[in-house]
Structures are given as structure tokens and as C-alpha cells.
Structure 1
């Protein structure tokens, strides 16, 4: 049960750090991210950024799991 708690704390810290970095670096756009701006309308879908974050989290969590 302690391992589960430790994993949740680590995951929370990682998510908080990633959230802070994304909030701080709003202009962080990877090639492949979709951003449409027309007049007063703007739409952003950071597909490549989501894939990169998913890969990094998978590697980190698998590292701690072993």
C-alpha cells in the first residue's frame, strides 16, 4: 500500500511540474501542433506536445515501477 501512495505522490509532482512548465511557456509549440487564429477566435490542439508528454510519462512511470 505504501508503494501505491509513493507512486501517486510522484505522479502528482510530475504532473504539477509539467503543468507549471506548460503554463509558464505558453508559446511552447512543437511542429505538428495545430493552432488556428482568425480574428477574435483562436483554437489550439497541441497533438505533438501531448504525444511527447505521454511518452515521457510512460518512461518515467515504468522506471519507477521496476
Structure 2
């Protein structure tokens, strides 16, 4: 298997883990949600920060080894 194939496998596993965690926890405190009439604005600030930290650590350890 080439290095490119391994990268796709790792990215797929990361997407699966993020999807499972997202479905378990849903909205976190710190996520912004506004609803006015029939318009809803949702911006997952805290979720984005946590996902970014997890991905940064994951890729740091992949690069290290």
C-alpha cells in the first residue's frame, strides 16, 4: 500500500470518529444558535475548536511516527 492510500484510510477513520462523537454529544455549550421566525442560524464554535484540537494532535502523532 502506498503512502497515499494510508492517508486516505487515516482520513476515513478520523471522519468516522468525528461522526460518532458528533452524534453522541450533539450541541456543546458554546455553540451559537439563533432562531427568529422560520430562520435558524447555527454555528458550532466549541465543536469546531474541539475537532480542530483533536485533529491537530492526531496528525502531530502521525507525523511523529
TM-score w.r.t. length of structure 2: 0.74
**Does 1:57 pair with 2:55?**
yes
Secondary structure in structure 2 of the residue aligned to 1:49:
helix
**Count of aligned pairs between the two proteins:** 64
| Residue 20 (structure 1) shift | 4.1
**CA-to-partner distance for each residue in 1:14-46, whole Å, 9 max, x for gaps?**
113312442x34x72222211012232211000
Mapped partners of 1:58, 1:4: distance in 2: 19
C-alpha separation in 2, matches of 1:11 and 1:21: 15
Give the drift of 1:50: 0.6
- SS of the residue 1:63 aligns to: helix
- Aligned-residue offset at 1:55: 0.8
Q: Residues of 2 paired with 1:65 and 1:7: CA distance? A: 11
Q: Which runs of 5+ in 2 are unaligned?
A: none
RMSD: 2.1
Stretches of 4+ aligned residues off by more than 3 angstroms: none
